A and B are shown apart, each in its own frame.
Chain A
């Protein structure tokens, strides 16, 4: 079992719809959870982080965390073509060790269609 799992996609949604991206993780003691957006040929950029159960909203983005079920999701409301990118889920495990290493999923490709 991979430590952080994401569906690779592509996930296609029409413009204006809600895009829902999901991520599951194996380490039950994981502490912090991050969503990065990566445009093709570019480096990842952080868009959200969450460490408490429940929802966290920032503009059109909502991160949802359910530690009991070991999943974290990202909702993008009113999806725009500019949201088309690969979304990486990253998890700080319980024992991140020196360096506070994050474990990354392989990413979900999102396509927002006109």
Chain B
């Protein structure tokens, strides 16, 4: 059974703190993603990685960074948390299937982060 695991289900942090969100997948997937989800805005891509040590900005990378030192682990870092980063954070992974075929993303359980 495929599995994407996020380190925390709920997290409360103070403004200005450095925050680490961890994600581990056991499917040997090359691709990993970090999204945030807010009411009315849907899923927005923050960063993604298609290989170890490779990363690319998504649609809303400002205020975030990522790290991928091992294939199975992808970390999202909030360098200095702010209240507008209060959100649900979702990690996902997928395999690089050929053109046109199933490239579904598998999601972790989500981390609800509150910055106070």
Contacts and interface: CB of A to CB of B under 8 A. Distances in A.
Interface in A49-72: 49, 51
Interface stretch (A13-21, A74-82, A101-109): A101-109
A102 B40 contact: no
A99 B105 CA distance: 10
A107 B42 contact: yes
Contacts of B48: 98-99, 101
Contacts of A8: 40
B105 A90 contact: yes
Contact of A104 (B42, B101, B110): B42
Interface residues of A, number: 26
A104 B37 CA distance: 11
Interface of B: 31, 33, 40-43, 45, 48-50, 54, 56, 58, 90, 94, 96-97, 99-110, 112
Interface of A: 8, 31-32, 34, 41-46, 49, 51, 88, 90, 92, 96-102, 104-107
